[in-house]
Each structure stands twice: as C-alpha cells, then as structure tokens.
Amino acid sequence: MEKLSFGEQLSLLRKRKGLKQGELADKARILREMISNYESGKITPRAETLKKIAAALEVDFEELNSYILQEQEEKPKDEPQIMYRHDGNKLQYIETISDVVTLPVLGKVHAGDPNLISEQEIIDLIKLPRRIGRSADYALEVSGMSMIEAGINRGDTVIVKVQEDADNGDIVIARVGENYTIKRLKKNEKGEIWLEPANSDYKAIKGKNFEIVGIITYMIKRFK
C-alpha cells in the first residue's frame, strides 16, 4: 500500500474534523488559499505554520512534520544556482547558491482599497537562498499604487511571513472582512491602530475591524 503524502494526510485529518479548507485556515489564522496548496502538494508549510495547523487540528506537530520529512528525503536535490551581475560588458560571479527554498506566489494583493486576492492558485514559483526564504511563507504580487512612497510599486513581489501581530511602522498584509490589502501598520499612545498608505492620494483605513495575517520581510523589485 502506498504511503499517503503530507497533503493527503492533511486533507484526511481536516475532513475527520469536519472542517472545510477555509475553516481550517481561519482556525490556524493563515491565508485560506494556503490550505488548498498544501493539500494539493504544490508547497509545504514552514515549521511555524505547521504548528498552527497542528494546533487547529488538535494533532501532534511531530507526526505531521514526519510526513514532510519523509517526502523531502525522497525528493531529488535542487541544482545549484549561480548568481552573476553585470559589470560593464562582462558578467561578474557573485556566489553559488546550493541551499535554496521555493516560495509560491499565491496571487495579487492590492496596494489600495482592500480587495480579494485575485488568484486561488499559485501564479508563480520563486527560488530564494534559504537565509532569506527561511523568514517567509509565501509571496504576493503587488497591484495598485498606495505604497509607492515606501518603494513598493505595481508589479513588485513582496515576501510574506505569516504573523498575527506587527510593530508600529511595519508593512503588513491585512485582512479586512473577506478582502486583503498591503499597508503600513500605525499605532499611537492611545492604543489606536490603523492601516496607513504610503501615497497621499489614498486614505488610511481607520475605524474598521481588520487583522494582520503577515508582515513583509523582503521585496523583489520589478524593473522594466
């Protein structure tokens, strides 16, 4: 009998609890699209995210993690990536990256008024050095222009770490109702918090219930 994959095990455990994918994601406080991608085998969660899923399912973290470890042992190793940069008319060697992680680009997040993440499926995969990728769970492509004064433009890709809280001034992914947005989190001495754009043409999001679902750790610029 073939072993069940991690994704298949996760799906089985979820169904035993009588949970839909979105319900499990809400209990684990992660993006709803991520459960679908985990169960389909497109990506696997980081340890921190897996702990949240295990707690939501009321199962042992080590048991869940063992399925991932078994799959990693059976997968072929990634080929090394060699990084160069242009130096005049020549390519100058920078480094060879043999320890890489693959992050999914889950869809687009609107830098403007809150909007649905436009894609339910992975729209791209990016490979990053582990020293960068270990502080991230997924990536999102930016649409909209409300964060241009923070250097984040339409078409850029932001690297996101799943996190429920953030410090004053952090750039975050926030859920407002069923929609998502990228903004800077602001707090004052009165304990008030709000989401502030980095573009004077847009208004801050105040007086609304929202929740932080991740913080931006890195950004990949789009150059034309």
In three-state secondary structure terms, 143 is strand
List strand residue ranges (DSSP E) for the chain, in order. 81-87, 90-97, 100-110, 124-129, 138-143, 157-162, 171-176, 179-187, 193-196, 211-220
The predicted structure's pLDDT at residue 82: 55
Q: Are residues 144 and 70 in the same domain?
A: no
* pLDDT band per the 50, 70, 90 thresholds, residue 170: very high
What residue numbers bound the domain in which 23 lies? 6-74
Say which range, 6-10, 96-100, 139-143, 144-148, has the weakest mean pLDDT.
96-100
In a domain, 1, yes or no: no
| CA–CA distance, 30 with 21 (Å, rounded to integer) | 11
User: Euclidean distance between the first and final Cα of the chain, in Å?
Assistant: 51
Write phi, then psi, for 115 (nearest 5 degrees): -150, 160
Helices (H) and strands (E) in the chain, counts: 6, 10
| CA–CA distance, 73 with 203 (Å, rounded to integer) | 49
Single out the residue of 148, 199, 139 nearest to residue 173, CA to CA: 139
Any idea what the CATH number is for the domain that residue 211 is in?
2.10.109.10
Q: How far is CA 212 from CA 72, 155, 173, 207, in A?
A: 31, 22, 6, 15
pTM for the whole structure: 0.64
Q: Which residue, of 74, 91, 114, is where some domain finishes? A: 74
* pLDDT band per the 50, 70, 90 thresholds, residue 168: very high
* pLDDT score of 138 more than 60: yes
In a domain, 144, yes or no: yes
The predicted structure's pLDDT at residue 119: 44
Q: Which residue, of 57, 74, 91, is where some domain finishes? A: 74
* pLDDT score of 84 more than 60: no
More confident residue, 111 or 223: 111
User: What would the pLDDT profile of 94-121 be if each residue is shown by its tens digit?
Assistant: 555 555 677 778 777 777 666 655 444 5
> How does DSSP classify residue 2?
P
Q: Are residues 49 and 159 in the same domain?
A: no
Catalytic positions are: 146, 183
Write phi, then psi, for 64 (nearest 5 degrees): -60, -45
Location of structure tokens 């130096």: 87
The predicted structure's pLDDT at residue 85: 54
Q: Are residues 145 and 70 in the same domain?
A: no
The predicted structure's pLDDT at residue 1: 39
Any idea what the CATH number is for the domain that residue 15 is in?
1.10.260.40
